[in-house]
Amino acid sequence: MSSFRFLHAADLHLGSPLAGLARADAEVAALFAAASRDAFADLVDRAIEARIAFAVFAGDIYDGEWKDASIGLFFNRQLAKLDRAGVPVFLLKGNHDADSVVTKSISLPPSVREFGSRKPETFRLESLRVALHGQSFAARSALDNLSSSYPAPVPGWFNIGVLHTCCESSAHARYAPCTLDELCRKGYDYWALGHVHEHAVLSREPWVVFPGNLQGRSVRECGPKGAVLVDVADSRVTGVERLLTDRARWAAATVDLSGAESEQAALAAVESAIRPVVAEADGRPVALRITLVGETRLHGGFARDPRRLADEVQAAAHRVSPNVWIEKAKLETAPLHRGDGAAPELKSLDLAALLEGLDAEPELLERAAETVGVIAAKLPGGVFVDEAALADELPELVNEARELVLGRLGR
C-alpha cells in the first residue's frame, strides 16, 4: 500500500503593504507585516516535520511587484529549506504575481518547478505516480476558464489540478471562472485551488479545496488562517488536515449599548465583547474592529469626540489583553430621543434629515475622492497613502462626518 502526504497552500501575499492598518498604527502594521513572513517560515518548518512528499502553492505568493529583492530572497531561503529536505515544490502564479505583474526574479532551487502561463502544463513525480496539472496567469486579469483546457488525467496515477480561480465564489474577483461541476467532471483526484482567502472544502468526491490564505491582511479576513496537509493512500485521499499558521489575527465584534446609562457601563460591555476574541486568538496579537450599536443617551457625547471614544475603546481592550489593538471603533449608535438638546436656533431645522443619505450622493463622493487625491499629492515623499483603499471607505467616512456634526451641535 503506497501512501504519502503533501502540502497545499495558496495566497501567501508576501510583501503586502497593509495600508489600512498602517494609517491607524505603523508599529502594529509592521508587526502584522512580519506576521506574514513568520507564518510562511513556520509553515515550511512544520511541513518538513510532517514529512511531506511535495508542496503545492496555488498562486499569489507575492502581493505584487517587489519594491526590492528582500521579499524574493526571503522566499528563496524558505524554499531552500524544502530543497535540502528533499521536498519538490510546484508553483503557480495568480493575479497578484502574474507574469506581467512581478517582473523581478531570484533564481530558485532546482527542485522548484513553476507552471507556465501560455498553456496548461503537467509535471510528473514518477516515484509516487503523481501528475500535477496547472497553468499560471500571464496577466493580472484572467477572464477565461483556464481549467477547461487542462489535460485529461493520467490513467492509474494520482492526478492533481492546480488552479487559481474564483470558482463559484461571488465575493472574489472573477478570475479563471469555472463551476464546481466542471472541476469534478475533469476526473482528477484532488483540486488544489487558490484565490479565495477563506478555507473551504467544496467537494470530497473528488476533493476540491481552497486552503485560504496564510495570514489575514485586513478586517475582511478575520479568523484562523493557514494551509492544508493532504494524506493519500492507494491513489485516494484519506484525509485533509488544516494547518493553522497565522501569527496575528484580525477580528470584528459588535457591542450593543442599548440601555447603557454611563460611559463606564459602555466600556464594560466593550471589555466583555473582547474577552472571547482574545481567548480564540490563543495568544496571538489581534487587530480588532469594534462596532457600537443601539439606542443610547451616550450617543451625542461619543459623536462629539470620536478620537476620545477610540482612545477609550483601545484602553478597554488593553485592560483585557496587551495584545489587542483597535483597528477602528465604528459608532453606529443612535440617540434615545432624536432632536432633544438641539440648540434653540436649530429647533425649526431638521438638520439630521438634511444630512441623511450624504454617504450615497455620487457628486459628493466624487468631490471627496478628488480632495483625497489633492491631499495625497501634497504629502511629503515616503509617506504612503493607498488612495484606492481610501476611496472604498469614502461613504463610511462621510457618514462619520455627518454623525460628528450632529453630535457637536448637541443632537
- What pLDDT is attached to residue 126? 94
Q: Which of 200, 125, 202 is nearest to 160 (CA)?
A: 125
251, 281 contact by CB (below 8 A): yes
Residue 140 lies in a domain: yes
| Residue 78, C-alpha cell as written in the block | 524558505
String of DSSP letters for 282-334: TT--EEEEEEEEEE-TTHHHHHH-HHHHHHHHHHHHHHH-TTEEEEEEEEEEE
Q: Estimate to the nearest angstrom the gap between the alpha carbon of 144 and the chain centroid.
A: 24
Shared domain for 277 and 210, answered yes or no, is no
Residue 345 has pLDDT above 50, yes or no: no
Residues in Cβ contact with 365 at an 8 Å cutoff, skipping those fewer than 6 apart: 359, 394, 395, 398
When pLDDT is averaged across residues 152-181 and rounded to a whole number, the result is 87
Stretch among 173-187, 232-246, 376-390 having the lowest mean pLDDT: 376-390
Residue 411 lies in a domain: no
Strand partners, 124: 131
Q: Is the pLDDT of residue 330 over 50?
A: yes
Helix (H, G, I), strand (E, B) or coil at 46: helix
pLDDT for the residue 59: 86
* Contacts with 307 (C-beta within 8 Å, 6 or more apart), sequence order: none
Cα four-point dihedral sign 243, 246, 247, 249: negative
For the segment 148-174, the average pLDDT, to the nearest whole number, is 87
Segment 311-321 shows an average pLDDT of 95
pLDDT of the residue at 392: 60
Higher-pLDDT residue of 26, 220? 220
pTM: 0.79
Residues 27 and 129 in one domain: yes
Domain boundary among 300, 317, 336: 336
Give the residue from 105, 94, 195 showing the smallest Cα distance to 141: 94
Task: Say how far apart CA 136 and CA 58 lie, in whole Å.
Answer: 9
Q: Find the length of the chain.
A: 411
How far is the C-alpha of 260 from the C-alpha of 306, rounded, in Å?
18
> Looking at the structure, do residues 217 and 123 belong to the same domain, yes or no?
yes
What is the reported pLDDT for 55?
A: 98
How confident is residue 403, by pLDDT bands cut at 50, 70 and 90?
Answer: low
Q: Which residue has the higher pLDDT, 57 or 19?
A: 57
Does 71 score more than 80 pLDDT?
A: yes
Please determine, for residue 293, whether its predicted confidence score (pLDDT) is greater than 70.
Answer: yes
pLDDT at 21 over 70: no
d(CA 65, CA 105): 10
Q: What integer pLDDT is reported at residue 310 of this predicted model? A: 93
The rounded percent of the chain whose pLDDT value lies above 70 is 79
Q: Is residue 40 part of a domain?
A: yes
pLDDT band for position 174 (50/70/90)?
confident
Same domain, 328 and 386: no
Range in 126-135, 275-284, 382-391, 397-406 the model is least confident about:
382-391
- Of 56, 116, 63, 62, the residue nearest 82 (C-alpha): 56
> Strand, coil or helix: what is 134?
strand
Q: 52 and 165: one domain?
A: yes
Average pLDDT score over residue span 273-302: 94
Q: What percent of the chain has pLDDT over 90?
A: 55
Q: pLDDT band for position 384 (50/70/90)?
A: very low
Overall average pLDDT of the 217-226 stretch? 89
Checking if the pLDDT of 98 tops 90, the result is no
User: Per-residue confidence at 36, pLDDT binned at 50, 70, 90?
Assistant: confident
Indicate whether 373 pLDDT > 70: no
Rounded CA separation 145/175 (Å):
8
HSE of 142, CA atoms in CB hemisphere, 13 A = 32
Q: 265 and 235 in one domain?
A: no
Tell me the C-alpha to C-alpha distance, in Å, between residue 189 and each of 164, 167, 273, 373: 17, 17, 43, 50
Residue 331's DSSP bridge partners are 292
Per DSSP, helices labelled H in 225-305 are: 263-281, 299-304
Q: Which of 79-83, 211-215, 404-408 has the lowest mean pLDDT?
A: 404-408
Question: Quick one: cell of 402?
Answer: 455627518
Q: Are strands 207-210 and 226-233 parallel, antiparallel or unpaired?
A: unpaired
Question: Does residue 237 sit in the same domain as residue 273?
Answer: no
b/e burial code for range 172-197 (CB count within 10 A of at least 16 → b): eeebbbbeeeebeebebbbbbbbbbb
Instruction: Give the pLDDT band (50/70/90) at residue 385.
Output: very low
pLDDT of residue 356: 62
392, three cell numbers: 472604498
Specify whether 306 is located in the same domain as 358.
no
**pLDDT value for 116:** 92
Among 244, 278, 295, the domain-final residue is 244
* Of residues 369 and 19, more confidently modeled: 369
Q: What is the mean pLDDT of the chain?
A: 84
Greatest alpha-carbon span in the chain: 86
Same domain, 96 and 151: yes
Where does a domain end: 219, 244, 269?
244
Confidence band of 383 (pLDDT split at 50, 70, 90):
very low
Give how many domains the chain has, as a whole number: 3
What is the separation of C-alpha 3 from the centre of its chain, rounded to a whole number of angstroms? 34
Q: Does some domain include residue 395?
A: yes
Residue with cell 464594560: 268
CATH number at residue 102: 3.60.21.10
Residue 332: which domain range?
248-336
